[in-house]
Chain A
Amino acid sequence: MTRLTPQPGERIDRSRPITFSFDGKPIQGYAGDTIASALLAHGRTTLSRSFKYHRPRGELCGCGQCANSLVDVDGRTGVRACSEPIREGIRVIHQNAWPSLDFDVMQATDKFGGPFTPVGFYYKTFIRPRRLWPLYEKVLRGAAGLGRLPKRQEERSWETEYRRRHCDLLVIGGGIAGLAAAITAAEAGLDVVLCDEDVTPGGLLLSEGRADRAQALLGQARDAGVEILERGVALGFFDGLVPVWQGSTLHQVRAARHVVAAGAIQQPLIFADNDLPGIMLSGGARRLGAVFGVSPGTRAVVATVDDRGLDDALALHRMGVRIEAVADLRREPSAAAAELQAAGIKIVQGATVVRAHGGNAVEAATIAPVDGGGQAAAVAAERIECDLLAMSGATHPAASLLLQAGGRADYESERAGYRVTEVTDAVDVAGATAGDDEYELAELSGQLAAGRAAAALKGGPAPHELEQRLASLRRPLNIATPPAVASDGESAGKYFVDLDEDVTVKDIEHAVGEGYESLELAKRYTTVTMGPSQGRFSQIPSARVIARATGIDLGDVGLTTARPPWQTVPMGVLAGRPFEAGKRSALHDRHRDRRADVRWAGDWRRAYHYGDPQGEARAVQTSAGLIDVSTLGKLLVQGPDAGELLDRMYPNRMSNLAPGRIRYGVMLSDAGRITDDGTVCRIDEDTFYVTTTSSGATAVEGQMNWWLSAWNLDARITDVTQGVAAMNLAGPNARVILSELTEIDCSNEGFKYLDAKHAMVADVPALVLRIGFVGEVGYEIHCPGPQAAHLWDAIVGNGSRAVTPFGLEPQRILRLQKLHVIVGQDTDSESTPFNTGMGWAVKFDKEQAFLGRWALEASADQTPDTALVGFTVPGNEVMVEGAVVVAAGEPAGQVTSARWSPHLGVSIGLATVPTELATDGQSIQISYAGNTYSAVVTTKPFYDPDGEVLRS
């Protein structure tokens, strides 16, 4: 193939050559070329190998709609060569062929495997013996699929950013209808965005030699304030949100209204070996010539069922392509035929193409008159040499987004295809998508859709006059219905209904034969329409085959709605920017400075330890430790009814708490299950300071507010979690250290266990709570985040006693020695206060119908089936959390926490066990990974069982 003489309005700039490589060889094209047009200009007709049979495939649509032109560009796979512009130096590599595109050993599956590899063959054949499947799968997976991802992560990175765009109207498609709609709407004062898949909008105007008109309309649209997203692909309709992929940006367009003016998709014809390179849609062939100045062939046969094919044949003729013959399925010559005949082009009426001939590209076509079933009359068959076989099998509206939005399309036999019959409030259609594909009609229908949008959004009359004018201009259609399959009756050759997935007519018939008679079932069985082109070219052909095989009317076979994305899109585009909304405490820089092992804990980044968790735990017990507990949820509950609210939220009583005192609280659902826990401290008569678990703050605040609105109490809740830092100073020296930093009385008499005091600590205002999660004398110091680092430094550098910062892991060791329960770790959705040893926290003697009261009352007189107990394991083995507790050979519980205790020098843990085993000294069996361990139950804390240290 070669370049044509310059075409009017062509996109390429012949003065600007650009060089890139294809499979290592340099290729020169011009600025404006796509990869495919540049390759075709160099005579390369095979662009890819097919998915299953590895057959050579070439350009089909010429506009990025099919999977025939998928290539790998600089390590990015699945790029559409027929829409991707060339750039200097890009490295383009073919996909799915080895060792080369022109010689692919896997084509053996086509030559020899053909009759032996029906759909489902691989799975049915290799699934037995079952044990060998992993091996088979590896080989089969290697042979299947398209493209190869780069091996190294760095080469796979993809930079995409999201961009939110709100607008009044999103127009999808920038052909004449879309441009007209955008201009009309913008001039009516709407905020309009238009996206178009091509490098420059214009649609069919561009391939029909009217690029100047497209330019003028584009200019008018810009002047009217329309934002144009070129090379912007609308990927789907998600409840009114339309992602438009444009290079490294994913626009998330939220429009009040949408107009789909995405055109219509020319349909292929089904005949023997209809996939050879050189067989193209007539519109695609014409586009190659008009837009890229590439001759799609030198001698062409055109097969058509409508005037579009005739029109394209004439255009190809004028470009200098010799039209050997036109097979027009319509029995009578169309009015449009006259011009072709005047140009000396032979038209055979009532005929179509029944077979293509050739090896690696089409060399000839057999055309013949066919009967209603597509069978050729052998006597009249004519074999014609050609290197281009252009086909026009009527069109299918590109209304996928409308269908996703709840619109409807129905089959119309006079158009041999579907027409949109129902639009939605949010989504309208225009132009060829609406069935109005002639210029004047398309323009009017675009204006009409815009008028409807403007009327809906701005008020004003609906554009009835325009509607009537459009209706009066519509002419009757003259389209012949293509047969499901056109055949010369010979057995040789494959008839493809889906080029993406290599699904043939036989495959569909096979599926119907096995009982998959509906389109939806046949689709899943054969994968027809499920390839990268989303059924654009295979939905109607496969529906015709099903209709023929089952005797069901084509209209009743129905359509499948293509799911988003409408265009294949790299995963990286959907991933957005790589930032995670991690919360960090005001002390986080201190953890960084100490090279803490920082890990996720809920949505927080937390210091897990500073290098030596066991040592940190020991340090707490020998002198003092300091842990950042800023992640604790902290809620301020205020108001005259604050106490009443808490009495309803917690099973124990909070309203009688004295100011300056603290009480532990467990929170329950109305099913009596434990949802969270923490402490409640009374600040003054009307003010409580409530802490929750680290991950529970947001949920607890949400729940409390919900109940608050339901109960209509005079109280208010403020989440102060993020602004208030907290650190727990614990250990035998904690009291001395604190007393040196504050003026308050820190003696055990002056500052008792579960007391709270407000004080200046190291010149920072602080609320100090004497509580002890880790089992030592401890002070939880809450202070303003912006001054927390100062306080931390003052404590760590106190100059008198050693303070060791400790992380979450040593804290977990220490609390396990105390058998302190962590909600969510040691409890699950079955945990109640009664089966976790917290029955003491439930006060049935208070009057409030607190959350969970009724459910707990209903089971209060029953002994729980399980209990949460401590255990030790002789030997050095630390149990795995989640390991099974076995009783009488049956699973009877599980390990919820397990650690090595540096204090005891023994493996310890918490486990749920059957209640009858929950006695001190009881031996239990724990099993995991095929081993069984004997453990000994302990019901009291391992460390300071009576809390004497804690209270000292």
Chain B
Amino acid sequence: MSYVLTCPNCGPREVTDFGFGGELHPRPTEAPSDRDLNRYVYFRRNVAGLQVEWWHHRSGCRAWFLAERDTRTNEVRWTAMPADAPTEGATAA
């Protein structure tokens, strides 16, 4: 695995520059039911295909940003800071 990811601040970098933050998985905004809490804490969609996910440019600007990536091919469609992300709920973590 050595594809290139584009940090919205720093530009294209080797993927090894980054920390992976997992798929976009918003935290409940209010106290969840036991079932929802369980789902939130322990379950992920784990898709084979396009997924919006968190990345951390830990070797560079240290910003967290979002990327849409195909988990099968590592093709990255876009990356963006959460505020600029073309997706719903990005800022709800």
Does A touch B (CB under 8 Å) in the complex?
yes
Which residues of A approach B to under 8 Å, CB–CB? 238-241, 254, 406, 670-671, 698, 701-702, 705-707, 709-712, 849, 854-855, 857-858
Residues of chain A lying within 8 A (CB to CB) of residue B42: 671
Is there contact, CB below 8 Å, between A238 and B2?
yes
Determine the residue in chain A with the shortest Cβ distance to B21: A706
Given A240-B3, A241-B2, the answer on whether A855 and B58 have CB atoms closer than 8 Å is no
Determine the residue in chain A with the shortest Cβ distance to B92: A710
B4 on the A face (CB < 8 A): yes
Query: How far apart are the CA atoms of A854 and B42 in the complex, in Å?
Result: 13
B48 on the A face (CB < 8 A): no
A41 to chain B: closest CB distance in Å? 43
A–B Cβ pairs within 8 angstroms, 19 of them: A239-B1, A239-B15, A241-B14, A670-B40, A702-B64, A705-B56, A705-B62, A706-B64, A709-B64, A710-B91, A711-B93, A849-B30, A849-B31, A854-B31, A854-B32, A854-B37, A855-B37, A858-B34, A858-B37
Residues of chain B lying within 8 A (CB to CB) of residue A239: 1-4, 15, 74
Give 1 or 0 for each of B18-53: 1 = CB within 8 Å of chain A CB.
010100000110111010010011100000000000
- Extra contacts, 19 of them, besides A702-B62, A711-B93 (Cβ < 8 A), are A238-B1, A239-B1, A239-B3, A239-B15, A239-B74, A240-B3, A698-B58, A702-B19, A706-B21, A706-B54, A706-B93, A709-B82, A710-B27, A710-B91, A849-B31, A854-B28, A854-B31, A854-B37, A858-B34
Query: How far apart are the CA atoms of A254 and B17 in the complex, in Å?
Result: 15
Query: How far apart are the CA atoms of A858 and B19 in the complex, in Å?
Result: 31
Is there contact, CB below 8 Å, between A855 and B41?
yes
Query: How far apart are the CA atoms of A670 and B73 in the complex, in Å?
Result: 31
A223 to chain B: closest CB distance in Å? 31
Determine the residue in chain A with the shortest Cβ distance to B82: A709
Determine the residue in chain A with the shortest Cβ distance to B4: A240
Is there contact, CB below 8 Å, between B41 and A670?
yes
A855 to chain B: closest CB distance in Å? 6
Is there contact, CB below 8 Å, between A705 and B91?
no
Residues of chain A lying within 8 A (CB to CB) of residue B32: 854
Is there contact, CB below 8 Å, between A710 and B58?
no
Is there contact, CB below 8 Å, between A712 and B4?
no
* Contact among B30, B37, B56 with A702 in the assembled complex (CB-CB below 8 Å): B56
A637 to chain B: closest CB distance in Å? 15
Query: How far apart are the CA atoms of A255 and B4 in the complex, in Å?
Result: 11
A719 to chain B: closest CB distance in Å? 8
Say whether chain A's binding surface is mostly helix, strand, loop, or mixed.
Answer: helix
Query: How far apart are the CA atoms of A712 and B91 in the complex, in Å?
Result: 8
A113 to chain B: closest CB distance in Å? 43
Most chain B C-beta atoms within 10 Å of own C-beta, residue among A238, A239, A406, A855:
A239
Query: How far apart are the CA atoms of A709 and B27 in the complex, in Å?
Result: 13
Is there contact, CB below 8 Å, between B93 and A707?
yes
Residues of chain B lying within 8 A (CB to CB) of residue A709: 63-64, 82, 91, 93
Determine the residue in chain A with the shortest Cβ distance to B66: A709
Determine the residue in chain A with the shortest Cβ distance to B73: A406
A284 to chain B: closest CB distance in Å? 35
Query: How far apart are the CA atoms of A854 and B36 in the complex, in Å?
Result: 11
Q: Nearest 5 pairs between A and B by C-beta?
A: A710-B93, A239-B3, A241-B2, A238-B2, A671-B41
Query: How far apart are the CA atoms of A705 and B91 in the complex, in Å?
Result: 13
A408 to chain B: closest CB distance in Å? 15
Determine the residue in chain B with the shortest Cβ distance to A857: B31
A899 to chain B: closest CB distance in Å? 35
Residues of chain B lying within 8 A (CB to CB) of residue A706: 21, 54, 56, 64, 93
Residues of chain A lying within 8 A (CB to CB) of residue B56: 702, 705-706
Residues of chain A lying within 8 A (CB to CB) of residue B64: 702, 705-706, 709
Residues of chain A lying within 8 A (CB to CB) of residue B2: 238-241
Residues of chain B lying within 8 A (CB to CB) of residue A854: 28, 31-32, 37
Query: How far apart are the CA atoms of A702 and B19 in the complex, in Å?
Result: 9
Query: How far apart are the CA atoms of A718 and B41 in the complex, in Å?
Result: 28
Query: How far apart are the CA atoms of A705 and B21 in the complex, in Å?
Result: 12
Determine the residue in chain B with the shortest Cβ distance to A673: B41
Residues of chain A lying within 8 A (CB to CB) of residue B14: 241, 254
Residues of chain A lying within 8 A (CB to CB) of residue B1: 238-239
Residues of chain B lying within 8 A (CB to CB) of residue A712: 91
Query: How far apart are the CA atoms of A710 and B91 in the complex, in Å?
Result: 5
Is there contact, CB below 8 Å, between A702 and B41?
no
Determine the residue in chain B with the shortest Cβ distance to A670: B41
Residues of chain B lying within 8 A (CB to CB) of residue A241: 2, 14
B31 to chain A: closest CB distance in Å? 6
A887 to chain B: closest CB distance in Å? 29
Q: Which residues between 54 and 93 of chain B lie within 8 Å of chain A, taking CB atoms?
A: 54, 56, 58, 62-64, 73-74, 82, 91-93
B11 to chain A: closest CB distance in Å? 13
Most chain A C-beta atoms within 10 Å of own C-beta, residue among B14, B40, B41, B74:
B41
Residues of chain A lying within 8 A (CB to CB) of residue B91: 709-710, 712
Residues of chain A lying within 8 A (CB to CB) of residue B21: 706
B52 to chain A: closest CB distance in Å? 14
